[in-house]
Chain A
Amino acid sequence: MSLEPLTLTDILIATVPLMLIFATLFAFTTWLERKALARIQNRIGPNKVGIPCTRIGLFGLGQPAADGIKMIFKEDIVPRGADRLFHLLAPILALIPAMLVLCFLPLNFPWIKNIQGLVKPFMLDGAVIFFFAITGLNTLAVFMAGWASRNKYSLLGGIRAVAQMVSYEIPLVLSAVIVVMMVGSLNAAEIVKEQADEYWFILSPWGFTAFVIFFIAALAETNRSPFDLPEAESEIIAGYFTEYSGFKFALFFLGEYIAMFAISGLAVTLFLGGGDGPGVTMNPEDQGLATEAFPGLSAVWFLAKIFALIAVMIWLRGTLPRLRVDQLMGFAWKFMLPLSILNILVAGFAWHAEQLDNTIITVITWVISFAVLYGAASGLNQLNRGKVRPREYKYAE
Chain B
Amino acid sequence: MNEVVAFWILSVIAVFGALVAVRKRNLIHGVFALLVFFAGLSGLFLLLLAEFIAAVQVLVYIGAVGILLLFAIMLTERVTGDDDRRVTSRGWFWGLVVTAAVFVVLLLPAIQQLPPPKAAQTIDPSVKELGHKLMNPYVVTLEVLALLLTAALIGAVTAAQGVRMPKEEDSPE
Contacts and interface: CB of A to CB of B under 8 A. Distances in A.
Direct contact of A and B (CB under 8 A): yes
B55 interface: yes
Interface string B30-45: 0010010000000000
B51 A126 contact: yes
Contacts of A169: 63
B56 interface: yes
A136 to B, nearest CB: 3
Interface stretch (A1-9, A19-27, A192-200, A219-227): A1-9
B15 interface: no
Given A125-B127, A130-B55, A5 B2 contact: yes
Contact of A126 (B29, B49, B127): B127
Contacts of B49: 1, 3
A184 B70 CA distance: 36
A150 B28 CA distance: 13
A136 B58 contact: yes
Interface in B20-77: 28-29, 32, 35, 47, 49, 51-52, 55-56, 58-59, 62-64, 66-67, 70-71, 74
B2 A126 contact: no
A138 B52 CA distance: 20
A244 B100 CA distance: 46
A129 B128 contact: no
Contact of A185 (B58, B71, B128): B128
Interface stretch (B91-99, B118-126, B142-150, B165-173): B118-126
Interface size class of A (residues with CB under 8 A): 20 to 34
A63 interface: no
The DSSP consensus for interface residues of chain B is helix
Nearest to B42: A133
B3 interface: yes
A140 B51 contact: no
B127 A155 contact: no
Given A2-B122, A125-B127, A133 B63 contact: yes
B152 interface: no
Given A129-B52, A137-B62, A143 B70 contact: yes
Given A3-B2, A155-B79, A129 B59 contact: yes
Contacts, number: 75
A139 interface: yes
A259 to B, nearest CB: 15
B134 to A, nearest CB: 13
Contact of A140 (B2, B35, B71, B81): B35
A124, A143, A166, most chain B CB atoms within 10 A: A143
Nearest to A137: B62
Contacts of A144: 32
B52 A126 contact: yes
B125 A1 contact: yes
A110 B61 CA distance: 37
B63 A137 contact: yes
Contacts of B128: 125, 184-185
Contact of A1 (B3, B29, B67, B123): B123
A156 B29 CA distance: 19
A86 to B, nearest CB: 8
Smallest CB-CB A-B distances: 4 pairs: A136-B63, A133-B58, A133-B59, A129-B55
Given A2-B120, A3-B2, A186-B127, 4 more contacts: A124-B51, A129-B59, A139-B63, A139-B67
